[in-house]
Structures are given as structure tokens and as C-alpha cells.
Structure 1
């Protein structure tokens, strides 16, 4: 199925609009702080929707509906785990991280925060954290490029190889030009588009099937197990799916949204907006996959593309059920999801190279203009590497995301969470926790012990290592403890 002229026009208008936002942001980007965190002046709505959009990548409209379409409602345990994890991240981490990064020498990146939080004069934490970001984010970026390529392949009839470059081009353009402001402003537009698509599409599918009751009868007739939340799942499988929620504490592209808020007072209203948006989007994504089972059971002649690749279920339903103009808007939502996450991931990667490797080790006296342009060049470099990694047409979005999500969740999650709640944590505790978390994910992934999602042992072992090593070593200096108390007191102020 190829894209009609109205759908093509809608698509191109959307892409052009995103690039225009990047050009507008370019005029407000003069320093590295502007390029990386937008000058820490984001309000509650932008903070909320930007955090949500940067979190919910192409897997929301492709990976999750595809998993539900194949396995039934039992795959929705992922959505439950993510909702719990996101809420706790907003409650425990968001406001504190905003304050602690500012108190610790106005840190612009997570490696920068680790360095100052633990007075790491040897900069070991900075280097290790930056390398972890580069490794796992390059994989994560590849997942976004795969999702974009699938969209262009399905709708334009392009080859997969051509789709890789076409899908990534617009995102690279506005991220390169406008930095954090462009990413945040476009995220707000993209989050609105995503929720519109994920509410409207399942409603139209249900109407096409003559209601919810009829849909459920069709789904049950195809396979009654599709209605079973525990289908084929044992305790370990359910824990693994819920374990996705642990990843939130360590995702640099989401944590950067908290750091860029105009103050920690903004976080409370941002949390309410973001969680409402997230719950509606996840419910919509689950509904697309679930009711898609019924639709394609009733219309097997239209199911060819979905049978070959279940991650196309949202794409196919949009093109089959809607006027081409509306379908163009809905399919733009997939590109919005891809662009919103890919853009902030590219930005975090370039920030890690520029702020945590280039400036401290190679050019301490670099001007702000030089640093901004180095960041822009790094955006291009990381994007090209990610495109190369995504070149295998057999790649699946959810598989790539799960590996990168686990890597960040285990390597950074315990370090971030404990550093914000426990003043006794030491530099060596942070270093060992980070290394054990990352190593556990890599080793566990290769061996697939107990079929347990690797983020769970990674998070657990890293947390234990942080506490044990910190308690075995010398207590933090008075300066470190005083900064922690200062930040906590500022956070508690209303």
C-alpha cells in the first residue's frame, strides 16, 4: 500500500513545520547551556509533554500495538509497569534532580552532575558515564531510526535502505539547528499529535466492528487466550514486564527534561499533565493492538502486511479506516513519536561528547560558540552511526528499545535515585554501581538466565553494590554533605 497525494501533502507539511520550529529555536540558542538544556526555562506544560514525548518513542505506536496484536492483552503488563515507574520517577526524582543539578555547579549533563555531586577530581565518573550514554544511546537511536524506516517503507513504498535516511533526515535537521529549545517545542506539538492519534484510531476501529461487545466476541472466537491477562505468563514473565518501570530512574533523555524545568515548583503540575497524557496514550496503544485483532480477523484479505510484521498494525488501520487527509495526520503521529525521542537522544549523546569529554579533556578554554558547533557536529556523527546500526531490515523496534532501556535503567537508575535520597553515598559506590549495572545487563542479556528481563538483576545488583561500597569507604566530605543538605532544603521549600 502506498501513500496517496493528500497523505503525502499532510506528511510533508508536518515535517516542514518541525524544521521551521528548529529555525525559530536557532535564534534563541547562543550558549552551550541553551543548546543542551534550553537555559533551564521550560514551563510545566512543555516540561510535561516533552518528557512524555521523549519517553514514548516509535515503540508506542508500533512496538506495543504489535506485541498486543500478536499475544493479546497479556502484553499490557508492560504498560502497567511503565505507568508505575513513570509516576515514581516524577515523585522521587524530578524535583530533586532539578535542584541538585543546579546546586552542584549548575551541572548540564548527568556525567557533569556525578562529577560534582561526589567531588570526583579524577573525572572517572564523567568518562564512564559518558561512555555508557554513547553505547546504549546509539542502540536506542537505532531503534528510532528503524521505526521511522518502517513508516516510510510502508507508506511511501520505499526500499528499507532509502527509508532509513528519509526517516531520520528531518529529525537530524531540527536537532542540529535548534538544540534543546527546538526539541522541546517540537515535542509539545508531537505529544499533542500522538494523543490525538491514539484516542481516535481505536475508537474508529471499534465503530467499524459495531461496538466493543462485538469486538470482544470476535477476539474471543479467534483465540480466547487473547482476553487473558495471564496468557502464557508465569511469575517471572510478569515481573519482567512490570520491571520496565525501573528503567525510568536512569533514562538521560527523560531526566534532562526535569533538569531543564524553570524551577522545582513547576514539577508538580507537570507531573499531573504528563501522567494523564501517558495513561491515555498507553491505553490507546493497547487498544489499537487489541481491537486490531478483531478487525483483521473480520478482514483477512487486508491483513497481509500485518501478518508479515505485526508492528505495522497502527499504520495499516490508519490507512484503511480514515480519509487520506486524516490518515496523513495520524501517520505523522508515528513520525512524531520517532522524532521526539530520537531528537533528544541525539542531543544527549552530543552533550556527553561535548560537555563531558571534549571540553574537560581537550578544550577547557573553548568558547560557547565553538562548543555549540561541536555539539551540532556530534549530532550528525551519532545519527550516521545509528543509521548504520539500523541497516538490518530484520530489526524489531521493541527488541532494540528493551536492551537500551535496561542498560540505562540498571547503570544510571540506582545511582541517580540513591544519590538524591542518601547523603552517605560515595564516589566509589557510584562508580561500582554504574559498572555493575551496565555489566549485568550485557552479560544477562547474552545468557537469558531464567528468562528474566535483564534490567531487574542489573538494578538490584547495582543498588546493593552502591550501599555496600559506600558503607565500606570513607564518608563524603563536609562540602559534599553540605551541598546535599542545601539541595534537600531547597527542594522541601514551597
Structure 2
């Protein structure tokens, strides 16, 4: 290992040691009860709530996936995605956060999202809870695999180690960390990682722009590529028979620009709809110590998101200017942040910046694993399989499920040609369509019925699979991002089935009014 590479490695090891230290610090308190392990005893302050929500949400795709899209296709696809996400973040904090916090307390002091949905509709047979838990297990397993891919790509690109070995090692590290500290360790480290992520992004943005010769040079280079620097066009790299981009005399070749019309823009903006159904974000709303502090959290979260997303998109554009032929496949393009960091920064500083990718990955994967484990242990095991389960038994089962999910995620992530952005987009659509509509209807429409909730969740979740696997490959109108049609389908089912079934009980309606008037 070269001297500079060794320095980068040491910096990252130090960072990982700090994260493990956080897990150990919170281990005792986290293991006092399942409520502490899964929700931290509703003790989060506004800064931790905001920063941990955004760090757990963005994951490695913010530093690898999104810059990779900008490097490969240019401005439009990445920018419209970022705009949709920023808008979704703001609206979710503005309308959903306080209402969900208050409702989760009133509805049986719910500590998981499936708990809330089930308690909201006063279930006895726990159908909604079971459906919620199953979808959470499925989509978070996919999500966790995307994080493992990120770690594998990071270390294999940096140090030349075998991708699969690094991916499995990263997965084991995340698993051990999540085992130790639960939700409190997760949120504390996520706050630290959110700061690391935004500092890393801004650092590379500023230095990269300077080295490239300034903003005007970067923009001119981008404009010289057909469709690359347009909001209503998209670049199309010219690929050879082996699937890599063709370069002539050191100049990457592109086909004629493609069109990026209104239909495609709406499809991309639909990313913002996903926020209304993201368990890792919604859980933070439930966990804050005082709902009145959510306004402060919203401001922090929105500022963080706008800066981070903007920097990530810009880094992809800068990367194409500085290293035009370095990354010749879509999958490889997701390493542009790593290439910039390792080439432009002193080794120790590059190690710190590279820790930003680890930060993003760890902050997300621990959330995904923990929420998936809680979905099974609390909502399926304790409520359906063993109703008299003790708190210790629930904790033991949750750790077994953590291990199982990790193993499945590792299997999914074994393919080193996996594209992080693609994996994340599918899981994001799954959560957005399954939980987004029912979250909104449950909080804001008193007439929503249990039957409508079940119909909406099933139709939304199934529609994501059907659209993604069967309809989207047909192209044309079916080429839209699966979240948009699936979200609409779920809303229709909730409304129609609720109207066709009997009104909610007086108890349910009274609870709704209590929350509404709070």
C-alpha cells in the first residue's frame, strides 16, 4: 500500500473507531428496553432529529449515486431529482412531522410505523401491522444492499482490494455497530455523519471548481457536450461493443442530445413523493422530545438538503471537466467523488472526506437494519407469533433478524456492476408508494377506513413491482418512474375503498379530532 493510500486508510480507520465508540457509549442505555432500542425513549432534540433524519435518508447515493448520474448524463436528470427531493423534504417536515408525532403518542404511544398504522385504525387482528412489516422487511433489505455496494465500491476503488471482500467487511462493520447501540447510537452517529457528509461535499465542490479553472470553465466544458448542461435535454454517452464509453484522442464521445420533456420531468420530480413514506424519516418525527421543536428541525433539515444536493450535482459536472475519460461505464461513474477526493486533496484530508462516504453509508444502513428488525420483532413476532414475548425475547429476535437481513443484503450486493442509484430508486419507490399515501390519508382524512388503508398499501406496493418489472421495460408512457403511478394508484384505492366501506368508529374519529385540534 502506497504512503498516501496508507494515510487515507488510517484516517478512515480512525473515523470508524469513533463510530464504534458512539455505539459502545449508548449500548447500556439502548439495551434497557425495546422502546429505547427502537425509538430512543422519544428523547431527541431538534438538531439531532433533523440531522439524523437527513443523514439516514440520503445514504451513499448522495456522494456516489447522484454525482454519478450528473457525470454520466449531465445536469437534467440529477438536477430534477434533487429539486424533487428538496421540495419533498420541506413539505414532509411542514405538514407531516408534527401531526405524526402527536398522533403516534395518542394512538397507543406507537414506537414503530406499523404500530402507528395498526393503532390508528384500532386493529384487533393486526392485518395492517403485518402488511406494513412485510413491506418494510422487503424494501429495507434492498436498501441495505445498496449501502453494502457503496462500501464495496469505495474500498475497491481506493485500495484495489477485491470488491466482494470489501463489501462483506463493510456489512459486518455496520451489523456490529447496529447490534451495540440501537436507535440512540444510530441517531447520535447520524448527526456526526451529517456534518461529515456536508463538509466533504462542500470541500470537494470548492477545490474541484478551483482546480478546474473556475465556474466559467466548468460550465463551458459542460456546454460543449450535447445535452449535458441543459434542463430540458440529456447527454447520451457513445458506447462501444463492450459497453464502455468511446474516447477519441482523449476526448469522450457522445451521441446527439436526448429530449427531457415535461413527462420525464414530472417522473423525476416524483422522487419527492417518496418522503411521505420513508420509515427512517418518519421515525424521527415520532422520536423528538417536543413537537414544538420540529419547526427548528425543519429549517436545519431543509438547509442541509439544499446545500448537499446542490453540491452533489455540481461535483458530477466538475468531475466530467477534470477527469473526462476516467470512468467509462455508468456503474464506474459513481466513483467520481472518490476520484476527485483522492486526486485533489492531501492524503489525510482525502481520508476525512472519504469518511463522508462511509458516513453516508453507515448512517443509512444502520437505520434500515434497525427499522426492519423492529418491524419483525415488535410487529410480527410479539403481536402475532408469541404474544406473551418478554422484552428480552423481543431484543434477541431483533438481533437474529438483523443478521438475516444483512446476509440477504450481502447476497444482493455481490454483483460489483450494480448501480447504487438504480437500487435506491426501486426501494425508494417501494416505500413511497406503500406508506406515503396511507400516511397522508391517516393524518389528514378522518373518513379513511381500515379497509381503505389495507387496499392502499397493497395496491401501492404491488404496483411498484408490476410497473418496474413488467410495464416500464415497454418504454413510452410506461417509462415513467414507478413511484408516480404507484403513488396515484394507492391514493385512488384508499379513497374509493374508504368511501365504499363503513365510517370509522366514534373512538377513531374522536382521536382524529383530538390530534387535529392539538
TM-score normalized with structure 1 length: 0.96
Q: Distance in 1 between matches of 2:464 and 2:393?
A: 36
- Which residue is equivalent to 2:482? 454
- 2:333 aligns with one of 292, 310, 314: 310
- Which residue is equivalent to 2:291? 264
Q: Distance in 2 between matches of 1:84 and 1:22?
A: 33
- Residue by residue over 1:221-248, the C-alpha shift from the partner in whole angstroms, topping out at 9 and shown as x without a partner, is 3x15211111121222111110100000
Structure 1 runs of 4+ aligned residues shifted over 6 Å read 305-308
Q: Distance in 2 between matches of 1:434 and 1:215?
A: 45
Larger mean Cα displacement after TM superposition, 39-48 or 439-448: 439-448
- 1:77 aligns with one of 77, 80, 83: 80
- Which residue is equivalent to 2:52? 50
Could you tell me which runs of 5 or more consecutive residues in structure 2 were left unpaired when the two chains were aligned.
234-258
Q: Is 1:102 the equivalent of 2:125?
A: no
SS at match of 1:39: coil
Q: Is 1:480 the equivalent of 2:508?
A: yes
Where do residues 32-47 of structure 1 align in structure 2 (5 Å cutoff)?
Answer: 32-47=34-49
Q: Is 1:423 the equivalent of 2:423?
A: no
SS at match of 2:40: helix
- Residue by residue over 1:336-355, the C-alpha shift from the partner in whole angstroms, topping out at 9 and shown as x without a partner, is 00110110000000000111
Instruction: Tell me how many residue pairs correspond in the alignment.
Output: 485
Question: Could you tell me whether the CA contact under 8 Å between 1:177 and 1:376 is conserved in 2?
Answer: no
- 2:191 aligns with one of 183, 188, 192: 188
1:206–1:124 distance in 2 versus 1, CA, 3 Å: same
Question: Could you tell me whether the CA contact under 8 Å between 1:58 and 1:335 is conserved in 2?
Answer: yes
- Which residue is equivalent to 2:182? 179
Q: Is 1:139 the equivalent of 2:142?
A: yes
SS at match of 1:227: coil
SS at match of 1:351: helix
Shift of 1:263: 2.0
- 2:498 aligns with one of 470, 482, 488: 470
- Which residue is equivalent to 2:352? 329
- 2:208 aligns with one of 205, 221, 231: 205
1:306–1:330 distance in 2 versus 1, CA, 3 Å: farther
- Which residue is equivalent to 1:247? 274
- Which residue is equivalent to 1:228? 230
Larger mean Cα displacement after TM superposition, 38-47 or 446-455: 446-455
Q: Is 1:284 the equivalent of 2:311?
A: yes
Q: Is 1:169 the equivalent of 2:168?
A: no
SS at match of 1:325: helix
SS at match of 1:425: coil
Question: Could you tell me whether the CA contact under 8 Å between 1:410 and 1:459 is conserved in 2?
Answer: yes
Q: Is 1:65 the equivalent of 2:88?
A: no
Q: What's the Cα RMSD here?
A: 1.4
Could you tell me which runs of 5 or more consecutive residues in structure 1 were left unpaired when the two chains were aligned.
none
Q: Distance in 2 between matches of 1:389 and 1:308?
A: 16
Shift of 1:374: 2.1
Question: Could you tell me whether the CA contact under 8 Å between 1:247 and 1:455 is conserved in 2?
Answer: yes
Larger mean Cα displacement after TM superposition, 440-449 or 412-421: 440-449
SS at match of 1:435: helix
Shift of 1:307: 7.8
Question: Could you tell me whether the CA contact under 8 Å between 1:118 and 1:427 is conserved in 2?
Answer: yes
Where do residues 252-401 of structure 1 align in structure 2 (5 Å cutoff)?
Answer: 252-297=279-324, 300=325, 303-304=326-327, 309-401=332-424
Q: Distance in 2 between matches of 1:419 and 1:219?
A: 46
- Which residue is equivalent to 1:19? 20
Question: Could you tell me whether the CA contact under 8 Å between 1:247 and 1:413 is conserved in 2?
Answer: yes
- Which residue is equivalent to 1:216? 219
Q: Distance in 2 between matches of 1:14 and 1:306?
A: 30
Larger mean Cα displacement after TM superposition, 151-160 or 307-316: 307-316
Q: Distance in 1 between matches of 2:440 and 2:286?
A: 14
Question: Could you tell me whether the CA contact under 8 Å between 1:406 and 1:441 is conserved in 2?
Answer: yes
Question: Could you tell me whether the CA contact under 8 Å between 1:305 and 1:312 is conserved in 2?
Answer: no
Larger mean Cα displacement after TM superposition, 186-195 or 121-130: 121-130
Shift of 1:483: 1.1
Identify the structure with the greater helix proportion.
1
Shift of 1:220: 2.3
Question: Could you tell me whether the CA contact under 8 Å between 1:306 and 1:313 is conserved in 2?
Answer: no
- Which residue is equivalent to 2:155? 152
Shift of 1:394: 1.9
